[in-house]
Amino acid sequence: MYKKDIKVVDCTVRDGGLMNKWQFDDKFVRGVYDACVEAGVDYMEIGYISSEKAFNRNEVGPWKFSADADLRRIVGENNTKLKISAMADIGRIDLDDIPLATESAIDMMRVACYAHQMDKAIELAHHCMDKGYETTINLMAVSKVNERDLDEALSDVGQSRVPVFYLVDSFGSMYCETVDHLLKKYRSALPDKEIGIHAHNNMQLAMSNTITALMGGATFLDATLLGMGRGAGNCPIEILIAFLKNPKYRLLPLLKAIQEEILPWQQKIDWGYHIPYLITGALNEHPRSAMAWMDSERKTDFVSFMKEMHDYELLE
């Protein structure tokens, strides 16, 4: 039967925005929001929260900032069961940029960091908690972190007040065995915290890895409509909802949003499973080189890309 303590987090706008610089119009974002509300999704990550000093609004869309005026156009007072989330990157936001939760449409702040930034991430997460927000810390690129540094980061998180810690497969390089190993490590080090999973689909394992994490005790599950996200994309939320069989979730509103809002974007940007993304995932590399290749005239020259990536590895 279904697990009652699961929270599904839709990241379509935030992660999908990495493919188009968050240039989604209000109709698109409202369509995702309405679908999440009707489908019973627990959280919608509507974008990043960033300093206006860090980015130019002429170059990136409003969902890179998640300013309250922009949020209110979509959610109003959000008198629904759906909670709104935003992600903060270390170094791209100042503490003063974060309003009190009582003055914001955002319910949860998710702090994204690398292992060497853990102290700063905890400070920011505590600041958000003190302002009234739910918080998580999402440790990125963990597949590149050595064991000693990871142990130190987990020790720091264990001593913090942050209630949720995320296992993030940033490069889509993990197999189920790796997810299982890390999840056990996280739960052992953080027995009083909930664990989340954020998977990327470079090797067509995002759904499988999410299930592995779920069965190992993860309670926050990230996913996106039609897997829309950076590079190879994420765990498709429609597959996840169909798998969970939890009566609080509904599939049809998600399919409607895919049909009306997501499919048109497939004609404009190339997310999802493509060979260049497979190659970077298999090599445990950031997808930026694959994304650049997919934007070039050589996007279907897989052999040259594979050779280039191997030459890169040898040079390094």
Q: What pLDDT was estimated at residue 239? A: 98
What does DSSP assign to residue 233? Answer: -
Q: Of 44, 41, 43, 47, which is closest to residue 20 (Cα–Cα)? A: 47
How do the pLDDT tens digits run along the chain, 316 residues long? 678 899 999 999 999 999 999 999 999 999 999 999 999 999 999 999 999 999 999 999 999 999 999 999 999 999 999 999 999 999 999 999 999 999 999 999 999 999 999 999 999 999 999 999 999 999 999 999 999 999 999 999 999 999 999 999 999 999 999 999 999 999 999 999 999 999 999 999 999 999 999 999 999 999 999 999 999 999 999 999 999 999 999 999 999 999 999 999 999 999 999 999 999 999 999 999 999 999 999 999 999 999 999 876 554 4
Backbone φ, ψ for residue 159 (5° rounding): -90, 0
**Count of C-beta atoms within a 10 Å radius of residue 260:** 13
What does DSSP assign to residue 116? Answer: G
Q: Give the 3-state secondary structure of residue 230.
A: coil
As a whole number of angstroms, the distance between CA 236 and CA 222 comes to 9
**Count of C-beta atoms within a 10 Å radius of residue 219:** 16
As a whole number of angstroms, the distance between CA 155 and CA 157 comes to 5
Q: What pLDDT was estimated at residue 1? A: 64
Give me the DSSP letters along 140-187: --GGG--HHHHHHHHHHHHTSS--EEEEE-TTS---HHHHHHHHHHHH
Q: Decide if 247 contacts 132 (C-beta within 8 A).
A: no
As a whole number of angstroms, the distance between CA 42 and CA 61 comes to 25
As a whole number of angstroms, the distance between CA 19 and CA 43 comes to 21
As a whole number of angstroms, the distance between CA 227 and CA 11 comes to 9
3-state helix, strand, coil in the chain (%, to 5): 45, 15, 40
Q: Decide if 186 contacts 220 (C-beta within 8 A).
A: no
Provide the token pair at 104.
Answer: 């914001």
Q: What pLDDT was estimated at residue 316? A: 44
Backbone φ, ψ for residue 41 (5° rounding): -60, 145
As a whole number of angstroms, the distance between CA 250 and CA 121 comes to 35
Q: CB-based contacts of 139: which residues, under 8 Å, 6+ apart?
A: 113, 114, 115, 118, 145, 153, 165, 166, 167, 168
Q: Give the 3-state secondary structure of residue 286.
A: coil
Residue 232: exposed, middle, or buried by beta-carbon count in 10 A (0-12, 13-18, 19+)? Answer: buried
